[in-house]
Chain A
Amino acid sequence: MASFTTIKSDFPIFQSNPNLVYLDSAASSQKPQAVIDAERKFYEEYYSNVHRGVYGLSVKATDAYEGAREKVRLFIHARSTKEIVFTKGATEAINLVASALGKLLEPGDVILLSEAEHHANVVPWLQLQEEKRITLRYIPVNDSGKLAMDKVPELLDDKVKLVTMSQMSNVLGTVNDIQEISRQAHGVGAFVLVDAAQSVAHMPVDVQELDADFLVFSGHKMLGPTGIGVLYAREEILATLLPYQVGGDMVLAVAKDKVTWNELPWRFEAGTPNIAGAIGLGAAITYLERIGMQKIWKHDQELTRYGLGELKKVPGLKLLGPVVSGPTRGAIFSFTVDGIHPHDVGSILDEQGIAIRAGHHCAMPLHQRFGLTATIRASYYIYNSKDDIDVLIKGLLKVQEVFA
């Protein structure tokens, strides 16, 4: 297994852009050669549709597509591939749950979510609030950027049908105690949906240990292609849900007046799926597992500890989220710099070859909670090292020089 110092050479983007310091992996990660090759090999060597042909190529494509599903199952420790639905990404997976679960909700039902959610885990529920006259309740985030777990018992009652939150915040880096949330939510009969879009790339994720009913993530944040993601749903629940989209491939039989749905999980995958994307995601999982998710999480923790210490040295820098490293925080740093707008910080860092994100990171309610419209976000991943933190610090001091 390659050490973290050589990992960078697996990513062609850094050969094409030798001076790039990429600190925006929370938005999307770069791709290793192995993922790019897996997609290309599929198109060049065995491309065909899946679940269709009796011919050899189609069997091979189907095996690769379903093989990727099995890799996903093992990666998140699901019991069965029936529980793994391929989607466009985490966003579509949440929309699928909102649509399918929404049909079962009644006026007055409550969905409980955290104040720190990405818009992908807010807007579908706001839509349901409109359509189904349900109510949303928010678990507050305290000043230190952690979820106010002490408020959860009073927010939970038998009106709550679903509790949903990210496992790792895309702004604060905070890792939520999902096991505890599941315990309490299941106590009142509510389902638990976990947005694992950030966490799944950085730490071992086990749906059984988390006791999650639904868990979603996107391929592109974990070295995989864009346009592919996963919905994990507990089989007993998925079996009771109606299809989200309908059409080909999700049916067993169609007559002029009758349709018989396909088995799980294909019932939830209408139309020709993103075959190449799934195969690419499978290759990404293989790549990540070759390094080891425990090791990746340890690397993340080291960068977090180092980053928190170094960011303190920048005068006027205010960090959102926990300031102490530990297993409840990942290497995502969102902050403001006194007197300088985040866009200006972003532009001047860009001039120095440093790619960060400036804005609200699709979490406007969370920014409003902190009285901010925008922050600067630097997020780190396996191809980043402590050097990339030093470069950021130097870059920020340079920004301050421009405005001095």
Chain B
Amino acid sequence: MSLAMYQQNILDHYQHPHNAGKLDPADAHAHVSNPLCGDELDFFLNFDEEGTVSEVKFTGRGCTISQASASMLSDQLSGMSRPAIMKLPTDHPMTLLGVPVNPARLKCATLSLEAVQQAIGHH
């Protein structure tokens, strides 16, 4: 039996998420949810004078894929500029996860990037 979606590194990110927590105050914040299954994410970002991400935190609850994807994305954001983040393609979280994501679960995977781009869009 293949459990491709549930590789150890994904389970690790889910069980011990990186950058967990809140930033208060935060330069940018967004809350996103998937009412279909109840996945929720809050992303908090701070920027330095050059406009690159200096701090990132997130809180959330939901399935492995949504939370692991958020944890992995949060690792990548520090030092990235706003335009660079906005240019990340929709399927970027799938690249981070590095496993085939079942079509029924794509929304779980992409929720993290949606949150971050929404936060910057509001900023």
Contact = CB atoms under 8 A, between A and B. Distances in A.
B2 interface: yes
B95 interface: no
B2 A351 contact: yes
A341 interface: yes
A374 B37 contact: yes
Given A344-B6, A372-B38, 14 more contacts: A341-B37, A341-B39, A341-B62, A341-B63, A344-B63, A347-B5, A347-B6, A347-B105, A348-B6, A351-B3, A352-B1, A373-B38, A374-B36, A402-B3
A285 B104 CA distance: 33
A55 interface: no
A67 interface: no
Contacts of B104: 347
A318 interface: no
Nearest to B108: A343
Contacts of B64: 341, 344
Interface in B71-123: 102, 104-105, 108
Given A352-B1, A374-B38, A343 B65 contact: yes
Contacts of A342: 37, 63
Contacts of B3: 348, 351, 402
A206 to B, nearest CB: 37
A359 B108 CA distance: 13
A402 B6 contact: yes
13 contacts: A341-B63, A343-B39, A343-B62, A343-B63, A344-B65, A347-B6, A351-B2, A359-B37, A364-B35, A372-B38, A373-B35, A374-B37, A403-B11
On chain B, which size bracket covers the interface? Answer: 10 to 19
A372 B62 CA distance: 12
A348 B65 CA distance: 12
A343 B66 CA distance: 10
Identify the 8 closest CB pairs spanning chains A and B, nearest first.
Answer: A373-B38, A341-B63, A343-B63, A374-B37, A344-B64, A344-B63, A374-B38, A343-B37
Residue of A341, A343, A403 with most chain B CB atoms under a 10 A cut-off: A343
A374 B5 CA distance: 20
B1 A347 contact: no
B6 A350 contact: no
Interface string B28-51: 000000011111000000000000
A46 to B, nearest CB: 40
A360 B5 CA distance: 23
A124 B64 CA distance: 35
A93 interface: no
A395 to B, nearest CB: 10
A360 B102 contact: no
A78 interface: no
Contact of B36 (A344, A350, A359): A359
Contacts of B37: 341-343, 358-360, 373-374
A402 B4 CA distance: 11
Contact of B102 (A347, A364, A373, A402): A347
Contact of A351 (B1, B62, B108): B1
Contacts of A402: 3, 6, 11
A341 B62 CA distance: 6
Interface string B18-35: 000000000000000001
Interface in A379-404: 402-403
Nearest to B40: A373
B105 A343 contact: yes
B101 to A, nearest CB: 10
Nearest to A339: B15
Contacts of A343: 37, 39, 62-63, 65, 105, 108
Contacts of B35: 364, 373
B8 to A, nearest CB: 10
A350 B6 CA distance: 13
A403 B39 CA distance: 18
A348 to B, nearest CB: 6
Contacts of A347: 5-6, 102, 104-105
A402 B12 CA distance: 12
B102 A350 contact: yes
A364 B37 CA distance: 10
